Amino acid sequence: MNQNLRKITQFLQQNDSLSVEEKASLSKVVMDVDKELTITTFKLDRTEKVKRTTAILLEETIEELERKRKAVEAQNRDLEIEASLERVRSSTMMMYNSSDVGNATAVLFAELENLGIKTIRCGIIIGKKEEEKIELWTASGAGKGQVMQIVGEVDVNIHPLLKGSFEAWLQEKDFFSFKLQGNDKDLYYRSLATSLNYPISNTMGSLPDHYCTSFMFREGGLFVFTFEPFSSENSTIFKKFANVFSQTYRRYVDLKQAEAQAKEARKASSLDRVRGQIASMRTADDLQRITPVIWHELNSLDVPFIRCGVFIVEEEKSNVHVYLTTPDVKPLGALSLPIESTSLTKIIVHHWEKGIVYREHWNRDQFINWTQSMLELGQIQDRITYQGSELPPESLDLHFVPFVQGMLYVGNVSPLSDEKIELVKALAEAFSIAYARYEDFYKLEKAKESIEATLTELKATQSQLIQSEKMASLGELTAGIAHEIQNPLNFVNNFSEVSTELLDEMKDEIAAGNWQLATEIADDVKQNLERINHHGKRADAIVKGMLQHSQASSGQKEPTDINALADEYLRLAYHGLRAKDKSFNATLKTEFDENIGKISVVPQDIGRVILNLITNAFHAVTAPPGVGIEKRGTDYKPTVTVKTASWVPPSGGKGVLISVSDNGPGIPTHIVDKIFQPFFTTKPTGQGTGLGLSLSYDIVKAHGGELKVKTKEGEGAEFIIQIPIQT
């Protein structure tokens, strides 16, 4: 019950002036009022609770909506950032050459501005670890249309900002921040201005204190100048952009490498074409067509020019030959100028002698004056043709690049960069090498008639010498052959005399009737006749061998018993020397492999080789002057050994080895490499042609084999013939 109603009830009960009925009536009224008040209060309380609940729910709804709004805004921001990153990636993928990197980087910083990140200045650093330098890429702002440019390299030690950024990159930190203020700020901009051509506004040093923050990636970092420190949100964004630019930079590096390789390939191809063109030149007139070749190659190397040519210096004649052309491959003229005729030719030759590039700039009047001087000297006939157009060039930069025989000339409307000059140097070097070949050819042409006459005479002399060599070897054999023929003839004569005596005895026995003894004598006569026949055939074979040796080789290979061939020529050579010099004596040794069998060779040719080697061995073991027997010991015995053996060629298969060795003085080391050269001989004049070993070498080569020598001074020499067996 309401407190006021309770007071009213209490008052009625205590007031005696009222009757009981009145008090009861009034009490009922009070109770009714109290009831109404209670109901009203309840309703009011309920309404208040509903209001409070509604307010709480409304507040929670608003907070939820705010959270969702912020989440949507964050999601939209993330999508906006990702879209920006994707546009940067797309610009990276659109890079087709290294020069596109400026545009791709500009897109990156334009996207940062679109994201509402305000900067004073921004750019890129690329670290150079070993050199303690950084390469700077910069732009004066981050707005659209700004193209990033590579400014140059700078030493990181010139300022703490650069040093700190460099060390943060080395330590693989995410970012580095530095506040530029006071003297530190002034020092920074002065250091950059003096270190490189840095495009900084004059007002940068007067700006209020500001911050430089670098966000690192693998190759370097993105740097940005701002008046306020970076928020965590903006730092996160910049880290993402730093990672994306790392991809851009790697593509840039790949493109640079590809361009460098393509450039080198174009350069090599260009130089090869120059060499090829000059190699085809045969006369001095051909030089007039070399300037168009230079024009084409300058174009392929991307060297700008409006005139080009070559200046050939002839010092012995004090003259300079000039061959010029225009970019449209029209000849401008072929001049022949005395070195002292103009100041230009004198200074060009001076620089050529020192091997340095010469540059000179002409204006229109200077070009006209030069052209007039050429007309007066009679070097050109037409001004317009020489100019290459109706009007002379307003500006002409002349570049003369030296090579061995002169200068390569390139004329352009502006000076060539050092990079382009290097390309011209490579072209000049290629021209020089090729032109040297042309000069050699020209000299050969001049001496052609004399050389041909000399060659004809040399061939005739060589034929005579080869024949002399053959006759000399035949002469060596003559005495030996006579000795060899004499032996079977002696047998024939002896057995004939004995047979005559036996026939007389047989007649006597027949007359006496002793038929058995007569039959035995007849058998002896028959054996003697067989021996006569055998030795007659032996003599016939010797004569045939002599005829084969004296005749030209048929070149036909036939199965030949190498052991028999070697043995025969060993005895013939020995007896030949014995016939000439009765005091000559030597021990002959043979070691023949009986399993070799017959091999397919030209017997006359291989016989000549074996005979030459054996004869040389006999001469070697004969004590020459200055190498007396006393120096080898009193027990020295001249020995010549001939061996045959099976041999396995390096390429596989089968082969035969024939060696002729001696225990003579050996071959001096300084002449070993010369012994197979034509006309080289150690014999006194008139005693050798110097063709024996040379012809032997060629014969063995013609059989697909090798002729080698092993020697040691004081211990003899061994010549080895290796011939593959053709199956």
Where in the chain are the domains? Answer: 3-72, 95-259, 280-446, 577-727
**Does residue 111 carry a pLDDT above 90?**
no
Model confidence pTM above 0.85: no
Q: Report the 10 Å Cβ neighbour count for 404.
A: 15
**pLDDT average, residue stretch 553-573:** 83
Q: How far apart are CA 46 and CA 33, in angstroms?
A: 20
The alpha carbon torsion through 581, 582, 585, 590 (nearest 10 deg) reads 80
Distances (CA, A) of 339 to 178, 312, 590, 719: 64, 11, 76, 62
pLDDT tens digits for 404-427? 889 999 999 999 988 889 888 888
Distances (CA, A) of 684 to 238, 306, 389, 635, 681: 93, 69, 75, 28, 8
Per CATH, 95-259 and 280-446 having the same topology is answered yes
Under the banding of pLDDT at 50, 70 and 90, the label for residue 630 is: very low
Distances (CA, A) of 614 to 314, 569, 608, 719: 58, 8, 10, 9
pLDDT tens digits for 483-524? 566 667 766 777 677 778 778 878 887 888 888 888 877 887
- Asked if 346 contacts 399 with a C-beta cutoff of 8 angstroms, the reply is no
Under the banding of pLDDT at 50, 70 and 90, the label for residue 628 is: very low
Give me the pLDDT at residue 142, please.
44
**Does residue 198 carry a pLDDT above 60?**
no
Q: How many CA atoms within 13 Å lie on the side-chain side of 175?
A: 24
Give me the pLDDT at residue 352, please.
93
Q: How far apart are CA 10 and CA 8, in angstroms?
A: 5
Specify the CATH class of 95-259 in words: alpha beta
Name the phi and psi angles at 379, rounded to 5.
Answer: -80, -30
Average per-residue pLDDT for the chain: 77
Q: How far apart are CA 717 and CA 294, in angstroms?
A: 59
Give me the pLDDT at residue 389, please.
78
Give me the pLDDT at residue 77, please.
66
Q: How far apart are CA 306 and CA 393, in angstroms?
A: 9
Q: How far apart are CA 571 and CA 480, in angstroms?
A: 7
Q: How far apart are CA 714 and CA 214, in angstroms?
A: 82
Q: How far apart are CA 181 and CA 62, in angstroms?
A: 46
Q: How far apart are CA 531 and CA 488, in angstroms?
A: 9
Angle between helix 20-93 and 3-14 (nearest 10): 180
**Does residue 481 carry a pLDDT above 90?**
no
Least confidently predicted of 89-93, 287-291, 477-481, 656-660:
477-481
In the three-class reduction of DSSP (H, G, I as helix; E, B as strand; rest coil), residue 212 is classed as strand
CATH 3.30.565.10 corresponds to the domain 577-727: yes
pLDDT tens digits for 293-325? 777 777 777 888 888 888 989 888 889 888 887
Percent of the chain at pLDDT exceeding 90 = 14
Question: Which CATH code fits 280-446?
Answer: 3.30.450.40
- Bridge partners, residue 639, by sequence: 587
Distances (CA, A) of 11 to 1, 361, 370: 15, 129, 140
The three state secondary structure string of 578-642 is HHHCCCCCCEEEEECCCCCCEEEECHHHHHHHHHHHHHHHHHHHCCCCCCCHHHCCCCCCCEEEE
Give me the pLDDT at residue 583, please.
80
Percent of the chain at pLDDT exceeding 70 = 69
Q: Which two tokens stand for residue 81?
A: 């950032």
Q: How far apart are CA 247 and CA 101, in angstroms?
A: 11
